[in-house]
Amino acid sequence: MTFSLRLCSVHPSAALALLCCIALTPRTAAAQRVTSTVDVGGAGIRYADSVSTSAATVGPTIRLDWARATLTGSGTASQLGVGGWSTQGRVDGSLFTPAAGPLVGEALAAAGGSAHRDGTRTGEALALGRAHLMGVYGGLWGGGGAGSTWNDGAWRAVRLAEAGGWARRGLVTALASVAPTAVDDTIRYMDATLALRVDVARVEMSGSIGHRTGEGIPTAAGSARSWGGASVVLWLTDRVGMTAAGGSYPVDATRGFPGGRYASLSLRFGSAGARASGQRPASQSDLSLPAASRDTPARSHGVLAFSSESAAGGRRVVRVHAPGARSIEVAGDFTGWQPAALARSRDGWWALVLPVPRGTHQVNVRVDGRSWVVPPGLPSVADEFGGSVGLFIVK
Mean per-residue pLDDT of the chain: 79
Q: How many residues does the chain have?
A: 395
> Is the per-residue pLDDT at 303 higher than 90?
no
- Per DSSP, what are the bridge partners of residue 180? 190
Determine the pLDDT at residue 152.
67
CB distance 354 to 318 below 8 Å: yes
The C-alpha atoms of residue 271 and residue 53 are separated, in whole angstroms, by: 31
Contact 315, 357 (CB under 8 A): no
Confidence of residue 304 (pLDDT cuts 50, 70, 90): confident
Q: What percent of the chain has pLDDT over 90?
A: 33
Q: Over the stretch 248-302, which tens digit does the pLDDT of each residue have?
A: 988 876 666 677 889 999 999 987 656 644 444 333 333 445 655 555 566 667 7
pLDDT digits (tens, 9 = 90+) for 152-207: 677 889 999 999 998 877 678 899 999 999 988 788 999 999 999 887 767 889 99
Least Cα distance to 206 among 281, 259, 305, 134 occurs for 281
What's the pLDDT at 352? 93
Q: How remote is the C-alpha of 50 from its chain's centroid?
A: 31
Express each pLDDT in 91-109 by its tens digit.
Answer: 999 988 876 767 888 999 9
Instruction: Write the pLDDT tens digit of every residue in 349-383.
Output: 899 999 988 888 889 999 888 888 888 877 777 66
Mean pLDDT of 7-34: 44
> Predicted confidence band at 323 (pLDDT cuts at 50, 70, 90)?
confident
Residue 209 confidence (pLDDT): 95
To the question of pTM greater than 0.85 for the whole model, the response is no
Domains along the chain with CATH numbers: 6-289 (2.40.160.40), 299-394 (2.60.40.10)
Could you tell me where the DSSP H helices lie in the chain?
12-24, 274-277
